[in-house]
Amino acid sequence: MTTSDNAAAGLREKARVALLRRVARTDDAGRAEALSAFVNLARPDLGAEAARVLAEKTPRLLPELTEKWIGMFVDRLFETVPLPQLEILCDGSEENEAALALAYVMFLESERMEKQMAEDLAACDLPPGKDGSDLAAEVCRRLTQAEEKRRQEGRRKAAEYQRAHGRTNKLN
User: Contact at 8 Å (CB) between 33 and 51?
Assistant: no
pLDDT under 70 in the chain at which residues?
A: 1, 3, 25-28, 59, 125-143, 146, 167-172
Residue ranges covered by each domain of the chain? 3-124, 128-171
User: Contact at 8 Å (CB) between 120 and 68?
Assistant: yes
- pLDDT of 142 reads 67
- pLDDT of 13 reads 94
Residue 111 CB neighbour total at 10 angstroms: 7
User: Contact at 8 Å (CB) between 20 and 66?
Assistant: yes
Distance CA 25, CA 38 (A): 18
Distance CA 17, CA 22 (A): 8
CA torsion sign, 116 to 118 to 121 to 126? negative
Q: Name the residue among 21, 34, 1 with its Cα closest to residue 90.
A: 21
Which DSSP symbol is given to 101? H
Residue 3 CB neighbour total at 10 angstroms: 7
- pLDDT of 12 reads 94
- pLDDT of 140 reads 61
Query: Tens of pLDDT along 126-137?
Result: 555 555 556 556
pTM of the model: 0.61
